[in-house]
Amino acid sequence: MQIKFTQEGGVGYFPVLSKPVTIEVDSLEQGEAEELKRLVESAHFFELPANVGTPPPPGAADYQHYTITIEEGGRSHSVRVSVPVKDDAVQNLVSAMQKQVKAARAAEIRSRAKPTADKKNP
Amino acid sequence: MYRKMYKKMCDRKPIFCVVPPYMLDAIARNGTPQQRTAALRTKAVDNTFRALRVATQPTRFAPGRSALPAPLAPALKRRSIYTAGNTQNLPGTLVRAEGQVQVQDVVVNEAYDGLGATFDFFQEIFGRNSIDDSGLPLDATVHFGNEYNNAFWNSAQMVFGDGDGVIFNRFTIALDVIGHELAHGVTEDESQLQYFNQSGALNESMSDVFGSLIKQFVKHQTASQADWLIGEGLLAPAISGVALRSMKDPGSAFDDPMLGKDPQPKHIKDFVNTFEDNGGVHINSGIPNHAFYQVATKLGGNAWEKAGRIWYETLRDARVRPNTGFKRFAHITYDVAGRLFNLNGQERAAVRDGWAAVGISV
């Protein structure tokens, strides 16, 4: 299972936070992978409509939405989730993904920072 | 003309200058013949005044709002702070209403005080009675979502997340961000600037301008003393950056591996064409933001007195349409500066030079 997560909108624009992050679920630790799969299932992700949550009414500003695309076993589905999200199962899935996204970004930053650190301390 | 009419009216019976119309009616019905004549004459003049006020109003009225001037009732703050208790349910549970004493939760008190400062600013400086100029109660929800990294205006109320503590602190921490969100309501009420591309960047910029002015007003800062940062204190300690944006030097607010580099341009030649962020509304707002900074610092003193007044009256100008872009907006600020101050005055010259600094000629 592969999950692609993109966050857009909000009170400011931050280039890194807006970059899509891809999570290879099967390369996660077994417990984490199982938990994510369970959340995808309980959100009935593949049955969700293309838009869920609360789309911004006219005059609203600084709204956020997420785009989640999941590929699994030859099928693929994309959902745009607009905050606020009333469906708890969808919200739990989003929270879990945000946690993974944060971890993936932190790992990327560490891997980029490493060579510089090595240069400083040969 | 107003002054002449006022004088004429008050030469007759000064007391009637402050008597409300319904009392004049009562005097006309029940008073002595002399009182009746004076009351009817006053009422006739008063009606002319009202007609004049409507006819010369430079602004168009928002849909759904009465075309008559708002009654001159004293402006009253009506604040309600709710907590979503880390859910995404709006508005949540009421935790502090108008006039109630401070609570333990600093976030609630920051929201309450920030709403109050915003209300006071618009009332004292522009004579505006709340967001819609008709006394709209101010509602805010705090503790929205779980470690939610954002604040937004949902067209009816403000919503604040707690931040994750890693990238962002709580969103009530910055008074200008509170002012920013409420100012979206003012823009929606006055001009409905569409929230994408240039009109969206102007919408964003209006919120930054008023948010910054509210902070300066509370801190008693002149244009040269102000830091012109938006959202100072909002970035968590580990992040390399000082704020969300800088009006003084757009593009310099942050540069951190977790966030990337502040993408704001400060000149029209660096305008960013993008599909992201509603067509770059938080990116290209750097251009009009910097123009405002330039105008305010050229004029000196308190930025809300002249530059702020010009921008506010421009937002209310009937020529600002939902799809207005930078160039048209700049032209109207130039025109408004001439109308408010002097056609050949330093204010109008400062507006022209301020826009020129970002590459927009008026």
Question: What mean pLDDT is reported for chain B?
Answer: 88
| DSSP conformation class of A15 | T
Are B48 and B174 members of one domain? no
Kindly state the average pLDDT of the residues B202-218: 98
Kindly state the average pLDDT of the residues B269-285: 97
Min Cα distance A102 → chain B (Å) is 9
Element (H, E) at A118: helix A88-120
Q: In a structure prediction context, what are the per-residue pLDDT tens digits for chain A, which is 122 residues long?
A: 999 999 999 999 999 999 999 999 999 999 999 999 999 999 999 999 999 998 899 989 999 999 999 999 999 999 999 999 989 999 999 999 999 988 888 888 888 776 554 444 44
Provide the pLDDT for residue B74: 73
Bridge-based pairing state of the strands B158-161 and B229-230: unpaired
Are B132 and B216 members of one domain? no
Q: Do A15 and B185 touch (CB under 8 A)?
A: no
How far from B57 is each of A72, B50, B53, B190, B318, CA to CA, in Å?
62, 11, 6, 13, 10
**Set of chain A residues whose Cβ sits within 8 Å of the Cβ of B286:** none
Provide the pLDDT for residue B306: 98
Checking if the pLDDT of B85 tops 60, the result is yes
Most confident of B15-29, B52-66, B239-253: B239-253
Are B120 and B238 members of one domain? no
Domain presence at residue B68: no
B231 in reach of chain A (CB within 8 A): yes
Q: Do A61 and B166 touch (CB under 8 A)?
A: no
- Looking at the annotation, which residues of B are catalytic? 181, 282
Share of chain B above pLDDT 90, in %: 79
Burial bucket for residue B319 (CB in 10 Å: 0-12, 13-18, 19+): middle
Least confident of A51-60, B4-13, B70-79, B255-264: B4-13
Q: How many domains does chain B have?
A: 3
What are the phi and psi torsion angles at B159 (to 5°)? -135, 130
> If DSSP codes are grouped into helix, strand and coil, which group holds residue A32?
helix
Min Cα distance B125 → chain A (Å) is 24
Q: Do B155 and A57 touch (CB under 8 A)?
A: yes
Domain presence at residue B70: no
Are B115 and B258 members of one domain? no
Domains and CATH numbers, chain A: 2-116 (3.30.1560)
Select the residue of B144, B184, B231 nearest A61 (Cβ to Cβ): B184
Checking if the pLDDT of B185 tops 90, the result is yes
B184 in reach of chain A (CB within 8 A): yes
Are B98 and B35 members of one domain? no
Domain presence at residue B63: no
Provide the pLDDT for residue A108: 80
Contact map slice: B 295-334 vs A, CB within 8 A: none
Domain presence at residue B15: yes
Least confident of A3-7, B67-71, B260-264, B274-278: B67-71
Are B209 and B353 members of one domain? yes
**Set of chain A residues whose Cβ sits within 8 Å of the Cβ of B207:** 61
Are B84 and B14 members of one domain? no
Provide the pLDDT for residue A107: 84
Q: Do B89 and A10 touch (CB under 8 A)?
A: no
Question: What mean pLDDT is reported for chain A?
Answer: 90
Q: Express each pLDDT in B95-140 by its tens digit.
A: 999 999 999 999 999 999 999 999 999 999 999 999 999 999 999 9
**Set of chain A residues whose Cβ sits within 8 Å of the Cβ of B261:** 15
Alpha-carbon distance of B35 to B231, in angstroms, equals 60
Select the residue of B150, B180, B231 nearest A64 (Cβ to Cβ): B150
Are B351 and B239 members of one domain? yes
CATH number, residue B98:
3.10.170.10
Q: Express each pLDDT in B37-46 by its tens digit.
A: 666 665 555 5
**Which residue segment(s) compose the domain that B35 sits in?**
2-56
Provide the pLDDT for residue B7: 43
